[in-house]
Amino acid sequence: MSKLERVLVVGMGKVGRLVATLLKESGFDVLGLDAQPQNDLPVKVDVCDISDAATLAGKLKGRDAVISCLPYHLNIHVARIAHAAGAHYFDLTEDVPTTREIRRLAETSKGVMAPQCGLAPGFIGIVGAHLASNFDELRSIELRVGALPRHPKGLLGYAFNWSAEGVVNEYLNDCEVIAGGEIKMVPAMQDIEQIVLGGMTLEAFTTSGGLGTMCETYAGRVGELNYKTMRYPGHCKLMRFFFHELLMRENRELAGKILVNAKPAVNEDVVYVHAAVEGTKRPPRTIREGLCRDEFVREYYPLEIAGLTWRAISWTTAASVVAVVEMVASGLLPGKGFIKQEEISLEAFLKTKAGALYRKFE
């Protein structure tokens, strides 16, 4: 299967609305699905019960691809329907078990199965792999992302501009890393380090899912590979108290509701991206021979798209998945099977219409 023109976007939340808008601007025929009416978008949105398999399959009929912008626990449901229909499938999940199931489906898929197409996992893995490709031997790959309020209030220093369900999931699930040259599972909210970006001091700590499939890809090739979330100092200590001393880990749904009620979304946000790779380079590839450290450090802020201002976390996430869709549609990526984010060319990604949005902050 190679044709990719007609796209179904499932879930018209903060990110789904922008995904549909960007797809429309890139020339795709787009239909949105949501449980609630949406009348202020440049695409048609049908109201339906997404949990009903027959209904969703009917909406997918005649469509070349589906993008799930739903909470992670609903993605397998959508992926199975896409697989049965022979359609391309994309999502934004950071959930490791979800990705494993989608990868299993990809073994017999007629189209692409591409989960983890967001910011982290997603864009950060593309950047990390790009840096790593410039080394002859690798010592470490360190990937860091933080989506934060620009003007934090209170000790937690946070606002839930992203799915509370997803944040709770990544704070509590174990994290896959490469340590000492071996793939290991380590607890989340551990190994706190200090990072200074442009004079701003942040803390970074382990969270689940940010590496996607990179541990498998780089096994045997690098001594250290890890992903950490960046937050304002003191955040991790308070979240460990909340989840572990108050035992909120035993009720994830309630924990999410409490956190969103306490720290609702804000419009003025910033996304920090920090990728660093260490290793050995030899001439004539570069004049910087020997042991080197290459870094990619960026700050992304809200952006006006299609006449509206979108939060940094929304557009960076939406642009990532739409860029991958564009690359599949143009033949720059395979038209069938499982796609790893780290196999995507950063240069090609940034040349897409959606990916080019990242260049506005270079």
289 pLDDT exceeds 80?
no
Architecture of domain 6-118+311-361: 3-Layer(aba) Sandwich (3.40)
pLDDT exceeds 60 at position 193: yes
Q: From residue 166, give the alpha-carbon distance in Å to each of 93, 105, 226, 236, 241.
A: 8, 23, 19, 16, 19
The enclosing H or E element of 32 equals strand 29-34
The pLDDT confidence band at residue 332, using thresholds 50, 70 and 90, is very high
In this prediction, residue 38 has a pLDDT band, given cuts at 50, 70 and 90, of confident
Burial of 61 (0-12, 13-18, 19+ CB in 10 A): exposed
Q: Find where tokens 């260490």 sit.
A: 278
Per-residue pLDDT at 2 exceeds 60: no
pLDDT > 90? residue 220: yes
- Identify the pLDDT of residue 284: 61
Measured between alpha carbons, how far is 184 from 361 in angstroms, rounded to an integer?
A: 35
Instruction: Label residue 183 exposed, middle or buried (CB < 10 Å: 0-12, 13-18, 19+).
Output: middle
Per-residue pLDDT tens digits for 75-87: 999 999 999 999 9
Residue 120 has pLDDT above 70, yes or no: yes
- Domain residue ranges of the chain, discontinuous segments joined by +: 6-118+311-361, 123-309
What is the per-residue pLDDT for 288?
Answer: 64
Q: Which residues have a Cβ under 8 Å from the Cβ of 219 and sit 6 or more positions away? A: 178, 183
CATH of domain 123-309: 3.30.360.10
pLDDT of 1 over the 50 cut? no
C-alpha span between 25 and 228 (Å, rounded): 33
Give the pLDDT of residue 296: 98
